[in-house]
Amino acid sequence: MLRKILTAAIFAGVISGLGITLVQEFTTTPLILRAEVYENTAWSREPTRFRPASLVLAHAGETHDPATASDWHPAGRLDRLLATLLSNIVTAVGFGLILVACYSLYGRKVNGRQGVIWGMAGFTIITLAPALGLPPELPGTIAADLSDRQIWWFAAVGSTATGLWLMVFRPGWMFSLLGIAALALPHLVGAPHPESIGGAVPPELASHFVAASLVTSAIFWAMLGWLSATLYDRENTAS
């Protein structure tokens, strides 16, 4: 069983990581590069630190103050592409392991179409629900304290996962009501935000990045869900 889970997750993660990196080259990466130009101009220092087109979309938080930048930065577009590709593959394999483990615990046959549904659940939990409070951010954006954002993001992810599980897998209206309450709880508490909004990046560019990031993430999760379920089903059929 462990071999089936690892095989399906690794192959699905590698393929999904490659695919989404290609998509990001035409969607989010150009926006990040444009934002870094504004950030460098505003802070009057160069170069800025490397930021891969993260699949988690910066919800767990990263400070955009160049004073905290690391010494390493990509020498060119190829270095950035390779670093982003590696980051995406590692992330995709990790999420793939979670999805395939869920299929195994589910205990029923799961095909590619059902895998897309599971993938969309992952998109809702990891990206969409947290984005209601902490939308994806470009370099040069003013943000709240890093620790506060990380705590809220993890709380939103856990609460959303719990809410969906209660609504889907636990019968009865009482569990459905508890699930709805769990979904709403982090947003009723509210995400941490800075005292002032703005930054070096034009608002039009920032809003474009939010839309592009969410759509790109949805593509990734649909791809990962279909591949992981299809490969897992084939592993089960072959055994």
- Per residue, the 3-state secondary structure of 111-170, as one string, reads CHHHHHHHHHHHHHHHHHHHHCCCCCCCCCECCCCHHHHHHHHHHHHHHHHHHHHHHHHC
Q: How many residues does the chain have?
A: 239
Residue 181 lies in a domain: no
Q: Which residues pair with 141 in a beta bridge?
A: 199
Residues with Cβ within 8 Å of 198's Cβ and at least 6 positions away in sequence, in order, are 142
Asked if the bond preceding 30 is cis, omega within 30° of 0, the reply is: no
Residue 38 lies in a domain: yes
The total domain count for the chain is 1
| 172 phi-psi bin (left φ>0, alpha ψ -120 to 50, beta other) | left
Q: Quote the longest CA-to-CA distance of the chain.
A: 60
Residue 133 lies in a domain: yes
Residue (of 26, 38, 67, 70) closest to 51 by Cα position? 70
- Confidence (pLDDT) at 52: 52
- Confidence (pLDDT) at 167: 95
- Confidence (pLDDT) at 218: 97
Residue 78 lies in a domain: yes
- Confidence (pLDDT) at 69: 45
Joined together, the tokens standing for residue 24 give 């990001």
Residue 21 lies in a domain: yes
Helix (H, G, I), strand (E, B) or coil at 199: strand
Task: Give the residue numbers spanning the domain of 221.
Answer: 2-144+200-238
- Confidence (pLDDT) at 194: 83
- Confidence (pLDDT) at 75: 63
- Confidence (pLDDT) at 60: 38
- Confidence (pLDDT) at 202: 85
Q: What whole-number distance in Å separates Cα of residue 55 and Cα of residue 181?
A: 27
Main-chain phi, psi angles of 141, to 5 degrees: -90, 135
Residue 157 lies in a domain: no
- DSSP code for 66: G
Residue 47 lies in a domain: yes
Q: Whole-model pTM?
A: 0.85
- Confidence (pLDDT) at 126: 96
- Confidence (pLDDT) at 72: 54
Joined together, the tokens standing for residue 171 give 């019968």
- Confidence (pLDDT) at 198: 67
Residue 193 lies in a domain: no
Joined together, the tokens standing for residue 116 give 């897309």
Per-residue pLDDT tens, the chain, 239 aa: give them: 788 889 999 999 999 999 999 999 999 999 998 888 887 775 544 444 445 554 544 433 344 444 444 455 666 778 889 999 999 999 999 999 999 999 999 988 999 999 999 999 999 999 999 999 999 988 877 888 889 999 999 999 999 999 999 999 998 999 999 999 999 999 999 999 887 776 778 889 989 999 999 999 999 999 999 999 999 999 887 76
